């Protein structure tokens, strides 16, 4: 398994220009902006953009809160200027089935962090990834060297169970405070 210092380095190691990318769980769009630096052919962004949300950075620190209706307005305004961005507002379980099978080079899951939510997103996203592409996500485990908090997410349990069921192994980890993961589809 490959290890990277952070998720940006992991993306640099697995993505190629002109890739078709998808992010499930966008929050303020900060990681989306990072993904745009890789010059994707398409970046599909999936989020409900509703209610009040609080989230930390890639290390799980420096929490920010936002009214997601306001964020939705801002993201729509910015996306109009970027032809590669494809906004999909809704629940991941409703939006992921509408995407074409084997049409993405990478899908990054960072939405519902419950075991049930992650498991559902994994099962719905996997068929959408092309052979040679990656299914990735955030918050697999806590890297205590970088994270000030102790989170209890269902991500690791869901990912590990999915890997066992599909006879897969982790391809890479990115050692942010909230560790990202990647699985290669062969």
Mean pLDDT of the chain: 97
All domains in the chain, ordered by first residue? 2-184 (3.40.50.150)
Q: Alpha-carbon distance 135 to 11, whole Å?
A: 12
pTM over 0.95: yes
pLDDT tens-digit map of 3-36: 999 999 999 999 999 999 999 999 999 999 999 9
Position 64 scores a pLDDT of: 93
**Sign of CA pseudo-dihedral 7, 90, 87, 100:** positive
Instruction: Mark out the alpha helices in 26-170 (DSSP H runs).
Output: 30-36, 68-79, 92-95, 115-125, 155-166
Neighbouring-strand partners of residue 22: 44, 107
Position 128 scores a pLDDT of: 98
Closest CA to 54 of 40, 38, 37, 67: 67
pLDDT tier for residue 117 given thresholds of 50, 70 and 90: very high
The CA-based angle 133-135-141, given to 5 degrees, is: 145
pLDDT tens-digit map of 59-91: 999 999 999 999 999 999 999 999 999 999 999
pLDDT above 70: percentage of residues in the chain:
100
Closest CA to 141 of 110, 166, 178: 178
Residue position matching structure tokens 């996500």: 137
**Sign of CA pseudo-dihedral 136, 179, 163, 25:** negative
Q: Residue 113's CB: how many other CB atoms inside 10 A?
A: 19
């Amino acid at each position: 398994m490959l290890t990277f210092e952070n998720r940006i380095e992991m993306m640099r190691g697995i993505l190629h220009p002109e890739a078709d990318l998808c992010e499930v769980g966008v929050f303020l769009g900060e990681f989306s902006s990072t993904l745009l630096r890789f010059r994707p052919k398409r970046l599909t962004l999936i989020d409900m953009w509703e209610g009040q949300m609080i989230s930390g950075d890639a290390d799980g620190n420096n929490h920010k809160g936002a009214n997601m209706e306001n964020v939705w307005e801002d993201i729509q305004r910015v996306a109009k200027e970027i032809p590669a961005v494809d906004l999909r507002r809704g629940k991941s379980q409703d939006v992921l089935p509408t995407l074409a099978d084997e049409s993405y080079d990478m899908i990054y899951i960072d939405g519902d962090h419950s075991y049930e939510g992650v498991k559902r997103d994994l099962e719905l996203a996997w068929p959408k990834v092309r052979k040679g592409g990656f299914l990735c996500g955030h918050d697999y485990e806590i890297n205590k060297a970088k994270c000030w908090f102790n989170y209890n997410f269902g991500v690791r349990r869901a990912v590990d169970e999915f890997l066992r069921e599909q006879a897969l192994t982790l391809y890479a980890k990115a050692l942010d405070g909230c560790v990202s993961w990647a699985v290669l589809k062969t």
